[in-house]
Every structure is written in C-alpha cells, then in structure tokens.
Amino acid sequence: MPEVIIVIFAILILLILASCVKIVPQATAYILERLGGYQATWEVGLHIKLPLIDKVAKKVLLKEQVADFAPQSVITKDNVTMKIDTVVFFQITDPKLYAYGVENPIMAVENLTATTLRNIIGDLELDDTLTSRETINTKMRTILDEATDPWGIKINRVELKNIIPPVAIQDAMEKQMKAERERRESIINAEGQKKSAILVAEGKKQSAVLEAEGEKLAAILRAEAKKEAMIREAEGEAEAIYQIQKARAEGIRYLKEADPTTAVLQLRSMEAFEKAADGKATKIIIPSEIQGIAGLAKSLTEVVKED
C-alpha cells in the first residue's frame, strides 16, 4: 500500500513538472504572471515556470489580423443616412500593453472605428463620401493608429468595404447613371455620324480630284498623241519633199551627165508645156520661144518620117 501511494505521488510530481514546461510557437507571445502580477513576456522557444506560483495569463497572436466590423450607420453633412462597412488590418506590437491596456481590445477598436467614421463622414457631403474613399481610409488609419498605441496595437490599413446609401438615393443614382450613359451614347453616335460624314466628304473630294487628274492626264495624252501625229505627218511631208527634190536633183545630174543638145532641151520644155496644158485652164499664152521650139519640133518630126 505505501508503495502505491509513492507511485501516485511521483506521477503527480511528474505531471506538475511537465505542466511547468512551455514551448512558445512562432508569431506568438505568452504573458506570464507571478502571484497575480505581470512577470514576463515569453517569446518563441522553451520556457519553464514555477509550479503553483507562475501562470500563463494570456496568449497573444503577433500576426497581422483582420477585423471585419458590421456596417455602421452614419449621417453625411447634407443629412443623408447611410451604412458603411469597414475592414481594419491591425497587428499587436506590444503583448504587455495589449494584455493590460484595455478590456476586450477588439471591441474597443470596433467602437473607436465607428465613432471615428461618424466624425469623418459628418464633415462630408454625399458625393464627397462616394468619391473620397482613399481620403477617408487614410484619415481613419491615422486616427486609429494614434488612438491604439497605448493598447499595443498598430493599425496597418483601414478599408471602406461597402457604402450602402438609402434606397431612394440608390434609385436617384441609378437614374443619373442611366441618363449619363444615354448622354454618352448620344455623344458617341453624333461623333460617329460626324466622322462618317467627314469620311464621305473626303471620299467625294478625293474622287473628284482623281477624276480631274484623270481628265487632265487624258487631255495631256491626247495632246501628246496629236502632237506626235503632227510631227510624224510633218516628218512624212518633209521626207516626201526631200525625195522629190532628190529625184529632181538626180534627174538634173543624169541630164547633165548626158550633155543634151539645145534642141533636146527645147523639146523637153515643150513636153512640160504640154503637161501644163492638160489642166483646166481655158486660155494659154505661149511665149515666142516656145512657138519657135514647136516649129522646130515639127520639122524634126517630118525629117524623121522621111528617113
């Protein structure tokens, strides 16, 4: 029996000693209290506490956390009531202040976010609220970061997740957006028609220019062709005159080489006169020389016949 009691006592001692050994994981801190008062902050690693005297009062997560708060009702400067849903990104930088600074720190941050949001939105009108999200986010982050420093909390970022205006405002906004879309559509259609008319006019202008250039080119080609024909005709006539003159020159040369007598020359003149007489003239004046030549030609003819 005493042996059993000893074994049980030994097991209890081992369990107590085992409970005094603590391993702190990464991105976590333990707040250690001794006899109800703050003793130390345990960081990552192996730690041993005194049994029955020390205790781990709080485990603090050091990672960046996200708090998505319920939509808050706010009133703008122009008395429009709306709901805004906010998201706060924060991180615990001092576990001791976080543990002893304020009761329920997350709830405190939520209430502080709501009051800060009401103050900022109360200075803005509806249109400014809808178009100034970035400004509101920056102001809220600055104010919340300063207010939560005594709690060991750092506000990294604040985002307006959703802005919900009243139904009447939403209907008015939808009508306004519809009117704006219709206005833009009308402008786009007018611009399209304008561009189309400009393109048609440009096309007609280019067509007229091309047609005029074509007619001009055709006139130039016709003039060039006519000029070329006239040149060729003139060259032909010049060639004909040249050939005629050349033939006459050849005839004179041959005649000169033959050394004809005066009677022959007078006879050739008579033949030329006969060709001239074949024309349409009704009166012919014969010079005295030609008459003599005619008598000579007649005498030569008679002599030839007698022979």
Residue-wise pLDDT for 7-38, tens only, equals 787 888 888 777 788 899 999 999 999 988 99
CA distances 159 to 61, 102, 138, 164, 302, Å, are 22, 24, 9, 14, 147
CA distance linking residue 25 with residue 47, whole number of Å: 11
- According to the model, what pLDDT value does residue 112 have? 93
pLDDT band of residue 60 (cuts 50, 70, 90) is very high
CA distance linking residue 205 with residue 46, whole number of Å: 90
Give 224-273 pLDDT, tens digit per residue: 888 888 888 888 888 888 888 887 777 777 766 766 666 555 656 555 55
- According to the model, what pLDDT value does residue 259 have? 63
The answer to whether the predicted template modeling score (pTM) of the entire model surpasses 0.85 is no
Query: Is pLDDT of 148 > 90?
Result: yes
The SS3 call for residue 73 is strand
- According to the model, what pLDDT value does residue 307 have? 47
Query: Is pLDDT of 153 > 90?
Result: yes
Residue 99's nearest CA partner among 58, 64, 155 is: 58
On the CB side of 270, CA atoms within 13 Å amount to 17
- According to the model, what pLDDT value does residue 304 have? 42
Return the percentage of the chain with pLDDT > 70, whole number.
82
- According to the model, what pLDDT value does residue 303 have? 43
Long-range contacts of 192-199, Cβ-Cβ distance < 8 Å, separation of 24 or more:
none
